[in-house]
A and B are shown apart, each in its own frame.
Chain A
Amino acid sequence: SAKSAAKDEL
C-alpha cells in the first residue's frame, strides 16, 4: 500500500 511503500526508505 502507499502507506507502507516508503517506510523502508530513509
Chain B
Amino acid sequence: MNIFRFAGDMTHLCSIVVLLLKIEATKSCAGVSLRTQELYAVVFVSRYLDLFFTFISVYNTVMKVFFITSSFCIIWYMRHHRIVSQTYDREQDTFRVAFLVVPCIFLALLVNHEFSMVEVLWTFSIYLESVAILPQLILLQRTFNVDTLTSNYVFLLGAYRALYILNWLYRYFTEPGYSQWIVWSSGTLQTAIYCDFFYYYVVSWRKNERLSLPS
C-alpha cells in the first residue's frame, strides 16, 4: 500500500469521526444530510459484500467493518436519537435520491466488468459513491449553514478523493497491468463535484469575510 492510498483512507476515516464527534458533542445534526448518509450506507453495504467471500488483509476488513458500522451509527443518531433527531433539517433535505439511485442501477447493469450479482453490486456502489454527496452539497447551499464541523467533514471527504487519484496515478506507474477505468472515471466525476463545492465554499467564505470587516 502506498502513502497516498493510506493517507486517503485515513482522511476518509477522519471525516466520519469528525462528523460523529460533531453530532455527539453538539447533540445536533443541523446541516447534515440524512439522505447522503443513507446513500453512503447503501454504498458501503453493496460494495463490502465481499467481506463474506474474500479476505484481503486485516486492515482491509477492519476498515470495511468500520465504514459500515459508522454509517449506520450516524443514521441511527439522525433518525432515532431523542435530541439529535430533532435538529435534523427535514424540510430542507429534500433531494430525490431516486434520481441518483435508479440511473446508477441501470448503469451498473450495462457497464460492468462481469455480469454477476456481486460484481454488479460492486459497480453500482462505485457509481453511487461518486454522486452520493450531492444531497449534502445542496443542503449546505440551501441552509447556508457553513458550520465549521460540517464543512470540515466535506473538506476531509474531498481530500480523501484527491489522495485516491494520486494513489491511482502512483499504482498505474508502479504496478504493471494496474488499470481500472470504471473506478477512475467515477472517481474523477466525484472529485469534480467536490471541486465545485470548494469553489462555492471559497466564494461564500470570502463574502462572509467581507461582510464582517469593520465599515
From B54, B64, B114, B177, A10 is in contact (CB under 8 Å) with B64
A10 to B183, CA, bound (A): 11
- Given A3-B113, A3-B119: A10 in contact with B60 (beta carbons within 8 A): yes
Contact A6 B12 (CB under 8 A): no
Contact with A along B170-198 (1 / 0, CB 8 A): 00000001111111000000000000000
Residues from 130 to 152 in B contacting A, C-beta threshold 8 Å: none
B113 and A10 form a contact (CB under 8 A): no
Of B12, B50, B64, B182, the most chain A CB neighbours within 10 A belong to B182
Given known A-B contacts A9-B5, A10-B9, A10-B12, A3 and B64 have beta carbons under 8 A apart: no
How many residues from B make CB contacts under 8 Å with A? 25
Chain A interface main SS type? loop
Q: Which of A5, A7, A8 has a CB less than 8 Å from the CB of B179?
A: A5
Chief secondary structure at chain B's binding surface = helix
A6 touching B180, Cβ below 8 Å: yes
Which residues B24-64 have CB closer than 8 A to chain A?
50, 54, 56-57, 60, 63-64
| A5 proximity list for chain B (CB < 8 A) | 177-180, 183
- Give every chain B residue within 8 A of A1 (Cβ-Cβ): 113
- Verify B60–A2 contact, CB threshold 8 A: no
Most buried by B among A1, A5, A7: A5
Q: 9 other contacts beyond A3-B113, A5-B178, A5-B183, with CB at 8 A cut-off? A: A1-B113, A2-B182, A5-B177, A6-B126, A6-B183, A7-B54, A8-B56, A8-B60, A10-B12
State the B residues within 8 Å of A (CB).
Answer: 5, 9, 12, 50, 54, 56-57, 60, 63-64, 67, 113-114, 119, 122, 126, 164, 167, 177-183
- Listed A/B pairs (7) with beta-carbon separation below 8 Å: A2-B181, A2-B182, A7-B56, A7-B122, A9-B183, A10-B9, A10-B12
Closest 5 CB pairs of A and B: A3-B113, A5-B180, A6-B180, A6-B183, A8-B56
